[in-house]
Structure 1
Amino acid sequence: MEDYSKKVRRKDRQETDEAFLIEMLEKSPACSVAIEKKGFPMMHVAFFVYDEANKEIIFHFSKHGYAGQLITDGKKACVSVYKYGKLYTAAKAVDFGCEYQSVIIYGKIRIVSHEAEHMAAMEMFFNKFFSHIPENTFEAMTAAQAKPIYVAKIKIDDWFGKEHLVPDGALDAFYYPASPVI
């Protein structure tokens, strides 16, 4: 048996353009990381950054709890990044559906242990999420302040994407009526 399936069942929805995969990773804030574990996989939801130069997903976590015990060097992982769009209707209920874009990534975890690499990763997070905040309104993070934040990298061994948009034959299309904000 293979470690994981490299096959996409719905070839009509598969995205092979690397630009699609990169854009999904650059414009998505959060991912789910499934970590190899005996019995059931451990799922960790995290904000992440994509390091295109090194083809890595970078995320952070706390050393306390299950994440700190299970997110270790060399552990196999699968990352899911997902966006949903409109729901749509059709003449038959079986043909109702939802727009989506997704990327699935396979790789192995490496815990960042060197201070310079750790701070560079923290800067990538900051630049992705907070670069619009004026620098004169806060105190910059120090290595001592960042030390309790564990950073992991997943080198991308393999990845694939999928996209499904509202089909031409849909009767109606609408967004799910819930606020995306807590």
Structure 2
Amino acid sequence: MKDYPQSVRRKDRQETDTSFLHEILDNAVSCSIAIEKEGYPLIHVAFYHFDAANNDIIFHFSKHGHAGDEITDGKKASISIYKYGRLYTAAKAVDFGCEYQSVIIYGTIRIIEGEQERMQAMSDFFDRYFAHIPDSSYEAFTAAQSKPIHVAKLRIEQWFGKEHALPAIATDAFFPAFPSVMQPREA
């Protein structure tokens, strides 16, 4: 790829205000990371932490397996972060759709090697998702326990957002009736 895309096809949905981009990054949980691999692209889904001060996306993954072999220093990557809303209907089936907000990020991966920086990144993850859990209810993680984990940063080199809200042509709107993960299935 020569250059990162500078815009989106649907200009009416493009969001360039950094406050919109930060809002999405601060209020979503996981991201999809795509990297070039010989044959098929590799996509990896991970929790992430947005380091706004340094304009970095930080994520972790196992050193074992496909991600550990392919997500390496200096590799270019794309990250997708999105949230969906209501599905909607309209007078014509071709106009049915879904509300959404998304951010696409392009950058270069850097694997964090230094133990102090790695442990700080792991602490940032923990603080983002589990800060409400009392310290007395668990044993804190150690540097030795995190050895099988790669922690990576992707410096945001280019990004853009999109938002599609309920259009005026919508005749009905509803949230999908899919169960959330690990919700008991009906027999």
Normalising by the residue count of structure 1, what TM-score does the alignment of the two structures yield? 0.97
1:30 Cα shift? 0.3
| Segment drifting more, 19-28 vs 114-123 | 19-28
Find the counterpart in structure 1 of residue 46 from structure 2: 46
1:180 Cα shift? 2.4
Is residue 163 from structure 1 mapped to residue 163 from structure 2 by the alignment? yes
In the alignment, the residues of structure 1 paired with residue 181 and residue 133 of structure 2 have an alpha-carbon distance, to the nearest angstrom, of: 20
Normalising by the residue count of structure 2, what TM-score does the alignment of the two structures yield? 0.94
Q: 5+ unaligned residues in a row in structure 1: which ranges?
A: none
1:168 Cα shift? 2.0
Alpha-carbon displacement from aligned partner over 1:65-114 (angstroms, at most 9, x marks no partner): 11111010000000000111101011111111100000000000000000
Q: Is the 8 A contact 2:85 2:99 kept in 1?
A: yes
Q: Is the 8 A contact 2:7 2:160 kept in 1?
A: no
Identity within the alignment, %: 63
Instruction: Please report the RMSD computed on the Cα atoms of aligned residues, expressed in angstroms.
Output: 1.1
Alignment: residue pair count: 182
Q: 5+ unaligned residues in a row in structure 2: which ranges?
A: 183-187
1:159 Cα shift? 0.3
Find the counterpart in structure 1 of residue 37 from structure 2: 37
Alpha-carbon displacement from aligned partner over 1:101-146 (angstroms, at most 9, x marks no partner): 0000000000000000000000000001100001111111111112
The aligned runs of 1:2-151 (5 Å cut-off) are 2-151=2-151
In the alignment, the residues of structure 1 paired with residue 39 and residue 144 of structure 2 have an alpha-carbon distance, to the nearest angstrom, of: 37
